[in-house]
Structure formats: C-alpha cells, structure tokens
C-alpha cells in the first residue's frame, strides 16, 4: 500500500487535471496525501487509507494546534484519493466513504482599518521595480479582493489599464471574471508595468520576482509580510487583504450581490465568513442613520 499511495499520486494529479480541477485544488489535495504519508513514516504506521489511521492523523494535527479548516482540508484530500483509488480498481473498497468530517469552527478574522491600509501602501513607496511591484500588488488586492493564486496567474495581456480592469480565471479553461479598479490602482500598475517592461521585456507573467522569474506564492507572501512589518502591522498575511476588501466594500455602501460577483463567491456563506468581524459595526452605523430615536 505504501508504494501504491505514493506511486499513484502522479496519476491522480493527471486525473484531476483532466476533470478541470484548479491547480490550487490539485496542489492542496496532493499536499494533504503527502502530509499523511510523512505522518505514517514518522509514527511507523502502515500507510493505508483506513478510518483508524486517518482519524489518528487528524487528531494529531489538531492537538499540534492546526486550524480546524486545515484538518478538514487534509481529511477531504484523503477521502477524495480513497474514492478515486476505489473507482479505478486500485483498492478493493473505499474505507473512508462514511468517515465523519472534523468539526470546523469559524475563526473571526479582523480586517485592516483605513490607517493600517494607508501605512501598508506607504511602506511600498519607492522607485525600484520591487517597490512598484509591491505597491501594485497591495493596491490591487485591497481594491479587488483578488485571491493570491488568482493574482499570481494574471498575465500581462490580462491587464486592461485603459478600462481599469484585469481578467482572472478559475481553473484550467474555467470561468473568468473581471476585477475593476480605480485611478490610483491604475496609476500604480502603470508605473510597475513600465518598469517591468524595461527589466523583463519578454515574460508573459505580470508579476516578476527579483531574478526575473514569475513571482511565486512564497515570494509574494514574504514580500508583503515584510512591507506589513515595516508599516507596524502585526500578524499579517496576504489573505487579510481579501477580508479588508469585503469589509470596506460593505462599509462604503456596496451591495452584497455586487460583492459576491466581484469576489467570485457563489454562496453567501463565504460573504458571512469574511465580514463577520465587522457586522456589528456596520449594523450600529446603519441603526444611527435610521433615526429611530427621533421621536416627537
């Protein structure tokens, strides 16, 4: 089974690609299986997709302080792999079919306030290619709520500065949507694109690392965290800009339906998750505008 689980991962990856799964989903699933295999090796556990083994793996994750969302994602990866192996006839049966998913708790994530966001933008100011890149990244993420993976996949040809929008696509050949942005972001991106064209004229990728190669998630994460540290912002991660975007949209009076469309959410469950920390503040502000205390 050990060789089977490891050796068939490339086949599963190809199968998921053929099923039009996004690269991010494929990497997440394969990463979950690899994490399980490493856990089996460390604990001298037979690498078999059984309920007992998977439950022990998930329990150790949670005991070590992993977020419940991480445990859910890891278990889902193993369940999907087990299902595929059984469907392909590589194992006799899917032993994880009735496995109960870990209980997932909702973690409230606070958004950046306007002062913090302004400080983050100012921390990117400068004349170097990296300075201009990081300001473009921060402004685009803060104004559009684009996911990190979507941002990194944007090509030069996906950027339309005259119309103030960028095209992002979900998955190979999947649906696309437009990210609209305003004049300040247009100006920042224009400065970056001009500097980038001089430095790396032949690359199709929009975002470039210090050596001219396409920017990786690791590079993006390190760069923006360094800017946040310089701005005096603690516990920062790039995804926080997506929470900030959603909060600012609603606070400015934007509609929930419009937010869901631009953010690429198909259900309001994600809307509630991203804006839960600011719901009370928005409700209080709305209540004050209603003037219910204005009595004769």
Find the domain containing 237 and state its range.
114-285
The rounded distance, in Å, linking the Cα atoms of 24 and 280 is 33
For residue 12, what is the domain's CATH number?
1.10.150
Cβ-based burial of 96 (10 A; exposed 0-12, middle 13-18, buried ≥19): buried
The encoded tokens of residue 151 equal 């941002």
Average pLDDT score, the chain: 85
Q: Please give the structure tokens belonging to residue 10.
A: 């490339």
Asked whether residue 52 falls in the same domain as residue 161, the answer is: no
Residue 291 lies in a domain: no
pLDDT in tens, 7-52: 999 999 999 999 998 888 899 999 999 999 999 888 878 888 999 8
CATH number of the domain bearing residue 246: 1.10.443.10
Q: Are residues 122 and 212 in the same domain?
A: yes
**Number of structural domains the chain divides into:** 2
CA distances from 213 to 131, 201, 202, 204 (A): 16, 12, 11, 10
Is residue 72 domain-resident?
A: yes
Residues 82 and 146 both lie in one domain = no
Q: What percent of the chain has pLDDT over 70?
A: 84
Enter the DSSP assignment of 268. H
Please say whether the beta carbons of 240 and 227 come within 8 A: no
Instruction: Quote the tokens at residue 64.
Output: 């070590």
**Contact predicate 37/24, CB 8 Å:** no
Give the position of tokens 């990117």: 124
- Whether the full predicted model's pTM is greater than 0.85, yes or no, is no
Flag whether pLDDT at 208 surpasses 90. yes
């Amino acid at each position: 089974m050990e060789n089977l689980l490891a050796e068939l991962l490339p086949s599963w990856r190809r199968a998921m690609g053929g099923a039009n799964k996004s690269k991010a989903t494929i990497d997440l699933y394969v990463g979950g299986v690899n994490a399980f295999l490493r856990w089996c090796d460390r604990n001298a556990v037979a690498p078999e997709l059984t309920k007992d083994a998977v439950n022990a793996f998930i329990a150790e994750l949670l005991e070590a302080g992993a977020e419940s969302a991480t445990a859910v994602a890891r278990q889902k990866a193993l369940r999907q792999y087990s299902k595929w192996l059984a469907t392909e006839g590589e194992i006799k049966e899917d032993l994880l079919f009735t496995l109960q998913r870990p209980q997932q708790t909702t973690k409230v994530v606070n958004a950046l306030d306007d002062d913090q966001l302004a400080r983050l933008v100012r921390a990117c100011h400068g004349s170097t290619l990296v300075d201009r890149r990081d300001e473009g990244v921060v402004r685009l993420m803060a104004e559009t709520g684009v996911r990190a993976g979507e941002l990194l996949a944007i090509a030069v040809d996906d950027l339309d500065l005259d119309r103030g929008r960028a095209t992002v696509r979900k998955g190979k050949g999947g649906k696309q949507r437009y990210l609209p942005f305003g004049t300040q972001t247009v100006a920042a991106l224009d400065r970056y694109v001009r500097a980038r064209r001089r430095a790396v004229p032949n690359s199709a990728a929009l975002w470039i690392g210090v050596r001219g190669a396409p920017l990786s998630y690791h590079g993006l994460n390190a760069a923006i965290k360094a800017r946040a540290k310089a701005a005096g912002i603690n516990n920062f991660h790039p995804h926080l800009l997506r929470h900030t975007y959603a909060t600012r949209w609603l606070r400015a009076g934007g509609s929930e339906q419009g937010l869901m469309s631009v953010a690429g959410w198909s259900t309001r469950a994600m809307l509630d998750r991203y804006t839960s920390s600011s719901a009370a503040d928005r409700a209080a502000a709305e209540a004050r505008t209603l003037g219910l205390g204005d009595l004769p």
